[in-house]
């Protein structure tokens, strides 16, 4: 257990355990189930249900429930799912993006700082959609123009956000060689050999 165990003394070489790919569990089943249910729900409400009919409202309620559930899980779930593992920090997000374009390839065991901002944005937008949607069905706000417009504007924002979200996932996957989509499907991030140095 001394320096002599190292055959090469150069650079930031990671020691043997990092010399093979490592699978690390990040996303628990609840996080994954919520994610794909929300994505499916948004797709259904955007493209399938008739906004004037009841199924649209039911699916909307379900999405809202899923997001609220995830927020509670963010307080009490396992490490990677907790808010404390991906605090909203615009400065860190900028630093992360800056680093990406200058060759840094840090792997994160929760959301990366830029992804974290996007995640909070997606949750807020979904809650906004649910709230304005419900308002439209109450006698008090029924037929009031700005509520309907807000619902539509939020939807446009949601679509833009989702497009950026998916682009970000693909970009991160291409750069760090850690398949994020696979991690959201089976829960595990496979870190490349030679532990990340960032």
Residue ranges in contact with another protein by CB under 8 A: 1-3, 5-6, 9, 11-18, 20-26, 28-30, 32-34, 37, 58, 61-62, 64-66, 68-69, 72-73, 76-80, 84-85, 106-109, 134, 137-140, 186-188, 195-198
Contact between 188 and ligand HEM by CB under 6 A: the answer reads: no
Q: How far is the CB of 115 from ligand HEM (least distance, A)?
A: 4
State how far Cα 61 lies from the chain centre: 21
Q: What angle, rounded to 10 degrees, do the helices at 29-47 and 145-176 form?
A: 130
Angle at 162 (CA atoms; ends 131, 149), nearest 5 degrees: 40
Contact between 187 and ligand HEM by CB under 6 A: the answer reads: no
Give the CA distances from residue 82 to residues 85, 109, 113, 121, in Å, rounded to whole numbers and listed in that order. Answer: 6, 11, 14, 16
The Cα–Cα gap between 22 and 30 comes to 23
Buried residues in 108-137 as b, exposed as e (16+ CB within 10 A): bebbbbbbbbbbebbbebbbbbbebbbbbe
Q: By C-beta, is 97 or 162 nearer to ligand HEM?
A: 162
Q: How far is the CB of 171 from ligand HEM (least distance, A)?
A: 11
The Cα–Cα gap between 80 and 75 comes to 11
Contact between 151 and ligand HEM by CB under 6 A: the answer reads: yes
Residue 38 binds which entry of ligand HEM, another protein, none, CB below 5-8 Å type-dependent: ligand HEM
Contact between 51 and ligand HEM by CB under 6 A: the answer reads: yes
Q: How far is the CB of 10 from ligand HEM (least distance, A)?
A: 32
Nearest to 120 by CA among 111, 132, 109, 107: 111
**Binding stretches for ligand HEM (CB under 6 A):** 31, 34-35, 38-39, 42, 45-46, 51-52, 56-57, 60-61, 63-64, 70, 111, 115, 119, 122-123, 126, 129-130, 133-134, 136-137, 148, 151-152, 155, 162, 165-166, 169, 180-181, 183-184
């Amino acid at each position: 257990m001394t320096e002599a165990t190292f055959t090469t003394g150069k650079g930031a070489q990671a020691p043997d355990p990092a010399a093979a790919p490592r699978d690390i569990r990040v996303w628990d089943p609840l996080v994954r189930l919520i994610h794909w249910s929300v994505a499916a729900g948004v797709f259904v409400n955007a493209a399938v249900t008739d906004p004037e009919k009841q199924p649209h409202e039911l699916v909307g309620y379900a999405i809202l429930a899923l997001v609220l559930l995830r927020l509670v899980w963010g307080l009490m779930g396992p490490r990677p799912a907790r808010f404390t593992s991906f605090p909203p920090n615009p400065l860190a997000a900028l630093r992360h993006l800056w680093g990406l374009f200058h060759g840094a390839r840090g792997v994160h065991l929760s959301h990366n700082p830029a992804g974290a901002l996007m995640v909070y944005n997606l949750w807020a937008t979904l809650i906004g959609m649910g709230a304005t949607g419900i308002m439209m069905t109450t006698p008090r706000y029924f037929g009031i123009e700005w509520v309907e417009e807000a619902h539509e504007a939020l939807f446009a924002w949601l679509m833009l956000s989702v497009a950026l979200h998916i682009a970000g996932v693909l970009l991160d996957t291409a750069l760090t060689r850690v398949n994020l989509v696979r991690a959201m499907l089976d829960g595990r991030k496979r870190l490349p050999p030679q532990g990340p140095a960032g």
